[in-house]
A and B are shown apart, each in its own frame.
Chain A
Amino acid sequence: GAGVSQSPSNKVTEKGKDVELRCDPISGHTALYWYRQSLGQGLEFLIYFQGNSAPDKSGLPSDRFSAERTGGSVSTLTIQRTQQEDSAVYLCASSLRRVETQYFGPGTRLLVL
């Protein structure tokens, strides 16, 4: 079956603009995760969805970041008023349940100029 897909693959934007990153999880996976990986750094957890709800948004780095998941499937991560420090690869993952194997998408490479 299809894996996790993310769009766009690459995004270049100007400082101050808003961006939307999309994640389409594996069909049937109820758990969805967003991570961020800055250049040469480890993975930073951002947010988790169980179904449509996000039990904990404390991992989001600032109030410029928001995320939603509609219909228990597709998720959108929105970054408002982008800053240069937001430049990173944003990775989405999904799993059957919280402790099951997380499968990752190819990521969105965001560059804020």
Chain B
Amino acid sequence: AQKVTQAQTEISVVEKEDVTLDCVYETRDTTYYLFWYKQPPSGELVFLIRRNSFDEQNEISGRYSWNFQKSTSSFNFTITASQVVDSAVYFCALPPSGAGSYQLTFGKGTKLSVIP
């Protein structure tokens, strides 16, 4: 069975601080994707990134960066110079795995509050 663990339930930071959201996963697949989604107060789940397990290079997109470490089964997400608009719940997820599996396996989410 697949599992995603986001140990940080809630994090508060002051604007302009850097913050890292942790994600640890379990899967029996040898190749797989990993995802991060953002859910702002409006409620919509916004896709942020998809990472293939083949590629362990860090990814950077503006103030966002992702550190994928297959050896420790972690896919951490860092926001640099946080802004109030970053306040949201962030979910890490694995895709469906195996026959009869259709849904994303989500972590429980980390609620990030950026204080002005």
Contacts and interface: CB of A to CB of B under 8 A. Distances in A.
Chain B interface size range: 20 to 34
Interface residues of A, number: 24
Given A42-B108, A42-B109, A98-B96, A104 B103 contact: no
Interface string B38-53: 0000111111001000
A67 interface: no
A55 interface: yes
Contact of B102 (A45, A91, A105): A45
A56 B91 CA distance: 25
Contacts of B106: 42-43
Interface in B2-55: 33, 35, 37, 42-47, 50
A99 B104 CA distance: 9
Contacts of A55: 100, 102
B8 to A, nearest CB: 15
Interface of B: 33, 35, 37, 42-47, 50, 91, 95-96, 100, 102-104, 106-109
